[in-house]
Amino acid sequence: MLSQDLKNEIIRYRRTLHRIPELGFEEYKTQAFIKNELSKMGFEIEEVAKTGIIALKRGKENKAIAFRADMDALAVTEKTELEYKSKHIGKMHACGHDGHMSILLGFALFIANIDLNKDVVLIFQPAEEGPGGAKLLVEEGYLKKYQVESIFGLHIYPGITEGKIGLTSGILMAQVGEIDVTIKATSSHGAMPQNGVDGIFVASQLIQLYQSIISRNIDPTEGRLLTIGKVTGGEARNILAKEVILNGTIRAFNSETYQKIKNRLTEINNGVEKLFGIKVETEIRDMYPALVNDHKLYHLMKDILSDDVIVELKPLMIAEDFSFYLTEVPGYFFMLGALNEELGYVHPLHSCYFNFREEILFHGVETYIKICQALNIF
């Protein structure tokens, strides 16, 4: 389906982008490279969301189908020995976004000289890793402006074997929020604990009580999670901690479950304040909604892919800001297999060693082409 020249270009895109990783809303070099490539292909281009790009190829109808790639990298120091490894110390495309952009550029090159029945909109979106460039694009009305009827996206995924594509009908990823809890206790010498309130002891009680939300307040058949991943506090080994900070995450597949966890967490914090006579400050930031794939488009994906390629996935507790688009229009997000144990492509997303065999990018482009053919775009 893809010519060797097109495949070579896809690899060139990937290696160029891998060398220049940039963090969210700082993707200036990335934006410039993508803009230059799309301009050579003849696309109409609009700069959006600070460092993003929307590229349009017009069809016979003004209604559109959209495809999205995320652009940002992570604050990770690359430890691969790739010839084209990151030139930006402390930054790396450790989540496959260089591959996602290369797939979309390859798809753009494929359709550049094809007559279309409908408009095709290519969204190169910044800041997926945070704070969420998709939300900004939705709020600024770009899906409506370009009359997008449906939207598609993918993620390179080392959780399934390369050559396979992971599908779900309905929920694929969780709703997510961030928790910051600051315990304002009373310091005293460790030899005279009666004169203070130990912030670390209070923190230990809170962490245990939080887990009771999951085990005792929520239906056990509901997908849910509350994790405290970081604890900071204390001044010395023999002093009761005056302040302790807890940082964590809430995740759930159901918005009602998510809200119940938030409410119960606040109730527990208020109760512990009264119990110990201290202050517990709570900040919960709602990040991304659950990613829910359209059922009709799930069946479309099953129709265009052979049975031996499809892997049916259970809902994942990871999160993706592609979910914001799906609150506006029907869409589908799928996982592109990258695991190859024989060649050593086994490292997880966000690892400093993450890499994949570049041939999987061709599968991504081919799948986008099949989607267009099934929807009679060309």
Active site residues: 70, 129
Cis? peptide before 126, omega within 30° of 0: no
Which helix or strand (DSSP H or E) is residue 137 part of? Answer: helix 133-139
The CA distances from residue 147 to 82, 118, 134, in Å, are: 41, 10, 16
> Which positions ≥6 away from 110 have C-beta within 8 Å?
2, 6, 365, 369
Which helix or strand (DSSP H or E) is residue 47 part of? Answer: strand 44-48
What does the alpha-carbon distance between residue 104 and residue 364 come to, in Å, rounded to a whole number? 9
Give 181's strand partners. 246, 282
Q: Quick check: 337 and 157 in contact, CB under 8 A?
A: yes
Residue 176, number of CB atoms within 10 A of its CB: 23
3-class secondary-structure state, position 324:
helix
> Which positions ≥6 away from 60 have C-beta within 8 Å?
115, 116, 117, 118
